[in-house]
Amino acid sequence: MYELTFTYICILVTTGFLAGIINTMAGGGSNLTIPALMVLGLPADIANATNRVSVLFQSMTAAKGFKKHGKLDIPDLKMVVGTTVIGGIAGALLASYMPSEYLKPTLLSAMIIMAAVILFKPSVISPPDGTIPNTVLGSKQSVPMLLLAGFYGGFVQAGVGFILIAAIAGSLRYDLVRANALKIVCTAAFTLLALVIFIARDQVMWIPGLTLACGSILGAHLAVKITIKISAKALKWFLFIMTICASLAAVFS
């Protein structure tokens, strides 16, 4: 049973703030928040479920920010989100019933692949300037990639931002800022559905989850402003560094 002391409240709010920034600009913030929840005394599966409360609130905050700055005026938005949601439902159902020891190897494998893609084939996640985006129906590889990204996000939230960026920028050829904005909306959509499943299974601890969310909302609000202003090259390298950090976190956690 967890004990939410003042110290733990400070830890959760601070961790949530950092995760809000990291998740909005790249991904991997859950590598901070899930361990923080586990330090509080929550089992791995409960921490994984409770973390979705924070992710939902930060995603809604970031999506509102990107829309305000004109980065979500995407005609194919419903198709992109709908496809990832289908995968997310399947992933959340699997995560709700599968033993938690399978989460770590899944996370580690995904992070290593993503780091390799950014380092050796950066054009996959950072299309050249002037590239015309594809539509979901106009790109044969987009549907399986988006389904896989959604499935991963429903299964294990940690690192889903990297997978979504690879799917969106790689198959639909959006620039990194718009790919990030789409990533956030997709994350909000399948996180909401995943949260419903976890709530039904009584796996969400609301007080730690909402405490974490308070910090993550502030972090997401700040991160949108940073993402809009920095260069694509800087954003790409931030994404790479966060991928490496997520890989190390998966190895040593």
Question: How far, in whole angstroms, is CA 37 from its chain's centroid?
Answer: 17
Q: Which residues contact 1 (CB under 8 A, 6 or more apart)?
A: 41
Domain spans, the chain: 6-252
Per-residue pLDDT of the chain (253 residues; tens, 9 = 90+): 667 789 999 999 999 999 999 889 887 788 789 888 988 888 888 988 999 999 999 999 999 999 999 888 777 888 888 888 898 888 878 877 766 666 667 666 766 776 676 667 666 666 666 667 777 877 878 888 889 888 887 777 667 777 888 888 878 888 888 888 988 998 898 888 889 888 998 999 999 999 999 999 999 999 999 999 888 778 777 877 877 776 676 566 5
Residue 163 half-sphere exposure, CB side, CA atoms within 13 Å? Answer: 31
pLDDT for 173: 82
pLDDT for 56: 95
Helix 206-229 × helix 176-200 angle, to 10°: 170
Q: Which residues contact 235 (CB under 8 A, 6 or more apart)?
A: 25, 26, 176, 177, 180, 227
